[in-house]
């Protein structure tokens, strides 16, 4: 493992000695984002100047060895403050552009940002993606403000999304983390976060940087660790999130392995936290909420159902090892039903996810096989959700997601019982 002492280059160390202490740190991880990072940097600069002009701030670009000139774009980015109607004293913004050490991935970039936050004793920090097209200066106020002015430790994003956007979040990650940890963070893997300097130090001291979490699960890890550590968490409404698509549907299996695998791994680590928790609590939401039309999303429901049914036939022996007999019976009942009556009810879906979590923990199969075998199940559930909500608005579809979350909370005792059987028996 790369020790913290050698994490930063000598140039970065020298730069940090020059800068000293700051109030705000904004981190932007990057890799070959020359086309988009300029806009992000300008939005950050404008946001700091507009809302935190009297604060000392540093912008840290943690780069993974870009070959398209990304660091140069960051260096050269300037803001026309006049056009932004910003006439107050300008914020004292420093820039640090540094490569990161460790295994390639967003996690290693974040580790560098956390370490720098520790060195400069930052009071409030935020990280934003380098390919954001919809970021505005207001995002900085919304991610930093709750930390600096209201004493929160962690600010999760709340985006305006189409009802069919983020289906892994809507059908698995949000209901599961809400039921487990009792906090209703609507988008726990948003990608753009605010956090306090003390939480950054907490993250930096964790030993996850050589694991798969560091490569692919860093977002859910940050949210889960914040909740599990008892940090004060809140959300901020950021509007629509438009960015370059990173995760093509062709790699859906990989996404499930990464994201759901991280959630399951964190369940094992934090079981003393979630085993006895029941119900869930609202989380404060900052920002002015507004509605805006979103582009329609085309969904191929037939293909999804066909994939699910193929899984019922070809993966039955594997699913039977992962899922309980009752859950399996509930799924088999869908084998020959018509398209109109195809539905994976909320209760059944909650049981599927809970059984999969237990199967992963018990290692009845290699963990990667358990997660990849979830793909056809997830597609069936997504098709079911699409069919149920096709006539609904995004707001009305949100009620269906709320009902799903209540199912997850209602059946949490089932998860606890099965989990403790595993733990006692091992």
Stretch that binds another protein, among 207-215, 250-258, 276-284, 349-357 (CB under 8 A): 250-258
Stretch that binds another protein, among 38-46, 97-105, 132-140, 305-313 (CB under 8 A): 305-313
Least CB distance from residue 270 to another protein, whole Å? 22
**Paired tokens of 41:** 């940097």
Under the binding rule (CB under 8 A), the answer on residue 315 touching another protein is yes
Minimum CB distance to another protein smaller for 285 or for 364: 364
**Paired tokens of 120:** 């400069």
Minimum CB distance to another protein smaller for 66 or for 360: 360
Least CB distance from residue 425 to another protein, whole Å? 10
Minimum CB distance to another protein smaller for 119 or for 372: 372
Q: How far apart are CA 271 and CA 37, in angstroms?
A: 39
Which residue do the tokens 């000598």 mark?
10
Q: How far apart are CA 115 and CA 206, in angstroms?
A: 11
Site residues for another protein, 135-174, by CB under 8 A, read 164-169
Stretch that binds another protein, among 59-67, 105-113, 241-249, 348-356 (CB under 8 A): 241-249
DSSP state of 56: E
Q: Which has the closest alpha carbon to 350: 141, 175, 205? A: 175
Under the binding rule (CB under 8 A), the answer on residue 363 touching another protein is yes
Under the binding rule (CB under 8 A), the answer on residue 302 touching another protein is yes
Under the binding rule (CB under 8 A), the answer on residue 253 touching another protein is yes
Backbone angles phi, psi at 195, to 5 degrees: -160, 160
Contact 63, 30 (CB under 8 A): yes
**Paired tokens of 1:** 């493992």
**Paired tokens of 12:** 């970065």
Site residues for another protein, 187-226, by CB under 8 A, read 189
Handedness of CA 200, 203, 209, 215 (dihedral sign): negative
Least CB distance from residue 166 to another protein, whole Å? 6
Under the binding rule (CB under 8 A), the answer on residue 252 touching another protein is yes
Reported as type and span, the H/E element at residue 328 is helix 325-332
Minimum CB distance to another protein smaller for 114 or for 385: 385
Of 13, 149, 247, 326, which lies in the binding site for another protein, with binding defined by CB under 8 A? 247
HSE value, Cβ hemisphere, 13 Å, CA-based, for 14: 3
Q: Which residues have CB under 8 Å from 401's CB, separation 6+?
A: 170, 174, 175
Stretch that binds another protein, among 127-135, 275-283, 359-367, 392-400 (CB under 8 A): 359-367
CB atoms within 10 A of CB 201: 15
Q: How far apart are CA 47 and CA 90, in angstroms?
A: 11
Minimum CB distance to another protein smaller for 164 or for 209: 164
Minimum CB distance to another protein smaller for 152 or for 419: 419
Minimum CB distance to another protein smaller for 39 or for 367: 367
Site residues for another protein, 85-144, by CB under 8 A, read none
Least CB distance from residue 189 to another protein, whole Å? 6
Under the binding rule (CB under 8 A), the answer on residue 259 touching another protein is yes
Minimum CB distance to another protein smaller for 11 or for 247: 247
Q: Which has the closest alpha carbon to 348: 411, 276, 269? A: 411
Instruction: Give the 3-state secondary structure of 112-127.
Output: HHHHHHHHCCCCEEEE
**Paired tokens of 225:** 């660790």
Least CB distance from residue 79 to another protein, whole Å? 30
Q: How far apart are CA 416 and CA 200, in angstroms?
A: 31
Under the binding rule (CB under 8 A), the answer on residue 311 touching another protein is yes
Backbone angles phi, psi at 235, to 5 degrees: -130, 155
Least CB distance from residue 106 to another protein, whole Å? 13
Stretch that binds another protein, among 105-113, 115-123, 365-373, 395-403 (CB under 8 A): 365-373
Applying CB under 8 A, the site for another protein has a residue count of 39
Minimum CB distance to another protein smaller for 219 or for 409: 219
Of 4, 92, 240, 318, which lies in the binding site for another protein, with binding defined by CB under 8 A? 318
Contact 374, 356 (CB under 8 A): yes
Site residues, another protein (CB under 8 A) = 164-169, 189, 245, 247, 249, 252-253, 255, 259, 296-300, 302-303, 306-307, 310-311, 314-315, 318, 363-366, 368-369, 372-373, 375-376, 382
């Amino acid at each position: 493992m790369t020790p913290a002492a050698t994490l930063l280059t000598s140039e970065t160390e020298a730069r940090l000695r020059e800068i000293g202490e700051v109030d705000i740190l904004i981190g932007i991880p990057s890799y070959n984002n020359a086309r988009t990072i300029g806009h992000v940097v300008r939005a950050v600069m404008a946001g700091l100047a507009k809302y935190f002009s009297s604060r000392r701030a540093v912008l840290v670009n943690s780069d993974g060895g870009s070959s398209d000139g990304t660091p140069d774009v960051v260096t050269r980015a300037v803001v026309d403050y006049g056009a932004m109607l910003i006439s107050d004293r300008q914020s004292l913004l420093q820039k640090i552009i540094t490569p990161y050490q460790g295994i390639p991935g967003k996690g290693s970039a974040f580790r560098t940002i956390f370490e720098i936050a520790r060195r400069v004793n930052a009071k409030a920090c935020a990280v934003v993606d380098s390919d954001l097209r919809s970021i505005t200066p207001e995002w900085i106020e919304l991610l930093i403000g709750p930390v600096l002015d209201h004493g929160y430790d962690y600010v999760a994003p709340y985006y305006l999304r189409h009802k069919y956007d983020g289906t892994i979040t809507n059908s698995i990650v949000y209901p599961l983390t809400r039921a487990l940890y009792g906090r209703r963070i609507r988008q726990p893997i948003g990608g753009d976060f605010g956090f306090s300097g003390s939480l950054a130090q907490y993250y930096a001291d964790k030993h996850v940087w050589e694991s798969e979490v560091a490569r692919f699960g860093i977002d859910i890890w940050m949210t889960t660790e914040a909740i599990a550590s008892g940090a004060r968490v809140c959300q901020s409404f950021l509007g629509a999130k438009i960015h370059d698509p990173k995760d093509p549907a062709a790699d859906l299996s990989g996404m499930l392995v990464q994201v759901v695998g991280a959630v399951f791994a964190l369940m094992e680590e934090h079981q003393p936290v979630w085993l006895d928790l029941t119900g869930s609590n609202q989380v404060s939401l900052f920002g002015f909420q507004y509605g805006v039309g979103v582009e329609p999303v085309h969904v191929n429901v037939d293909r999804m159902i066909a994939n699910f049914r193929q899984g019922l036939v070809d993966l039955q022996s594997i699913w039977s090892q992962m899922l309980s007999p009752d859950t399996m019976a509930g799924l088999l009942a869908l084998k020959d039903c018509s398209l109109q009556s195809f539905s994976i009810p909320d209760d059944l879906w909650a049981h599927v996810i809970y059984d999969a979590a237990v199967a992963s923990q018990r290692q009845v199969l290699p963990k990667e096989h358990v997660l990849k075998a979830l793909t056809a199940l997830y597609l069936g559930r997504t098709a079911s959700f699409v069919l149920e909500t096709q006539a609904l608005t995004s707001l009305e579809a949100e009620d269906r997601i709320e009902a799903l979350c209540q199912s997850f909370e209602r059946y949490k005792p089932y998860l606890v019982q099965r989990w403790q059987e595993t733990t006692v028996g091992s």
